[in-house]
């Protein structure tokens, strides 16, 4: 159900649903773990959020955040030069950029806690950082931008004869129009579930299109390909952030 989603998307969706009393703890844990064996939370005591400094279980750490006034869990999917979903400070941004994802927990007093996943084998530890409230893309805006970016990427790649050098990329672009929907937890807007599905598939297309072919392309060809496909990656990340950030979800 959830194992193919990024860890931060799983925690954002199911963590928020749990906070709102819409899923039970066992379902929260199963959903967040996915195919992993264990998840834990570390560093909350260093932020003055109680505890004795020891690493806590996933449920224990999330329960501590709930006691401290957690309102929602939202995801970030930053890359170098595009820290989408992050609001600082620098230490948290750097850790999130290195991981490629993070969760921002909004507290009732207006502050925020950042959780960055550190994975070793089948074990993930969510390391807590001080975080700040962030500027987020609107769900509708992100949806429209992704649709427009898909059309632009398809046209640009067609001009590069993508079907010849990467037929699987052309196939994936077509498949994006009939993406199978994900299953989200109770309370997640259907529009956001569908948006995350399209964003993930678009990100896969970008990764596939940029794969190295062992020096088969010239620098000029590589540059043209990147110019055609990288904007779609930015649209995909914004779509994923909006879909996984309850702060900007449309009213139920």
**pLDDT, greater one: 251 or 112:** 112
Least confident of 132-141, 163-172, 206-215: 163-172
Q: Which of 10-14, 123-127, 155-159, 192-196 has the lowest mean pLDDT?
A: 155-159
Distance CA 124, CA 58 (A): 10
d(CA 196, CA 108): 26
CA of residue 34 relative to chain centroid, distance: 15
Alpha-carbon gap, residue 108 to 7, rounded angstroms: 24
The yes-or-no verdict on residue 3 having pLDDT over 60 is no
Q: How far apart are CA 236 and CA 147, in angstroms?
A: 10
What's the pLDDT score for residue 214? 45
Question: Residues 23-34: what's their mean pLDDT?
Answer: 96
- Identify the three-state secondary structure at position 79: strand
Strand-strand pairing, 123-131 and 38-42:
parallel
Mean pLDDT, the chain, rounded, equals: 88
Region 176-199: mean pLDDT is 86
Say what the pLDDT of residue 101 is: 98
Note the pLDDT of residue 177: 57
58 in Cβ contact with 41 (< 8 Å)? yes
Q: For the chain, what percent of residues have pLDDT higher than 90?
A: 69
Q: Is the pLDDT of residue 245 over 50?
A: yes
* C-alpha separations of 187 from 3, 76, 251 in Å: 20, 20, 10
Residue 87 and residue 135 in contact, taking contact as beta carbons nearer than 8 Å: yes
At residue 217, the pLDDT reads 58
Give this prediction's pTM: 0.89
> What is the reported pLDDT for 1?
47
- The residue among 110, 39, 41 whose CA lies nearest residue 72 is 110
Residue 220's H or E segment, with its range, is: helix 219-243
Question: Is the peptide bond between 89 and the residue preceding it cis, with omega within 30 degrees of 0?
Answer: yes
Confidence of residue 2 (pLDDT cuts 50, 70, 90): low
What is 15-61 written as a DSSP string? HHHHHTTSS-HHHHHHHHHTT-SEEEEE-TGGGTSSS-S--EEHHHH
Strands (E), the chain: 38-42, 56-57, 70-76, 102-107, 112-120, 123-131
> Which of the pair, 124 or 173, is modelled with greater confidence?
124
Tens digit of pLDDT for each residue in 103-114? 999 999 999 999
Residue 39 pLDDT > 60: yes
The mean per-residue pLDDT over the stretch 42-66 comes to 93
Which one, of 39, 12, 31, lies nearest residue 103 by Cα?
Answer: 12
Q: Rounded distance, CA 237 to CA 8, Å? A: 13
- What confidence tens digit (pLDDT) does each residue in 106-144 have? 999 999 999 999 999 999 999 999 999 899 999 999 999
The C-alpha torsion from 189 through 194 and 198 to 201, rounded to 10°, is 100
């Amino acid at each position: 159900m959830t194992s193919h989603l990024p860890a931060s998307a799983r925690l954002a969706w199911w963590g928020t649903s749990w906070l709102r009393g819409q899923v039970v703890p066992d379902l929260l844990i199963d959903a967040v773990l996915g195919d992993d064996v264990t998840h834990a939370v570390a560093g909350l005591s260093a932020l003055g959020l109680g505890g004795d400094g020891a690493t806590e279980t996933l449920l224990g750490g999330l329960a501590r955040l709930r006691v401290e006034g957690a309102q929602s869990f939202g995801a970030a999917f930053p890359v170098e030069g595009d820290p989408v979903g992050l609001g600082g400070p620098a230490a948290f941004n750097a850790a999130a950029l290195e991981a490629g994802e993070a969760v921002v927990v909004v507290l009732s007093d207006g502050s925020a806690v950042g959780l960055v996943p550190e994975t070793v084998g089948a074990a993930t530890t969510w390391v807590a950082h001080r975080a700040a409230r962030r500027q987020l893309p609107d769900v509708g805006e992100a949806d429209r931008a992704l649709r427009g970016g898909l059309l632009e990427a398809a046209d640009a790649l067609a001009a590069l004869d993508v079907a010849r050098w990467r037929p699987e990329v052309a196939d994936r672009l077509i498949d994006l129009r009939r993406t199978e929907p994900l299953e989200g937890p109770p309370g997640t807007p259907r529009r956001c579930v569908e948006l995350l599905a399209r964003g993930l598939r678009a990100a896969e297309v970008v990764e596939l299109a940029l794969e190295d072919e062992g020096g088969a392309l010239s620098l000029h060809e590589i540059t043209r390909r990147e110019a055609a496909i990288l904007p779609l990656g930015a649209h995909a990340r914004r779509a994923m952030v909006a879909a996984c950030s309850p702060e900007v979800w449309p009213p139920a």
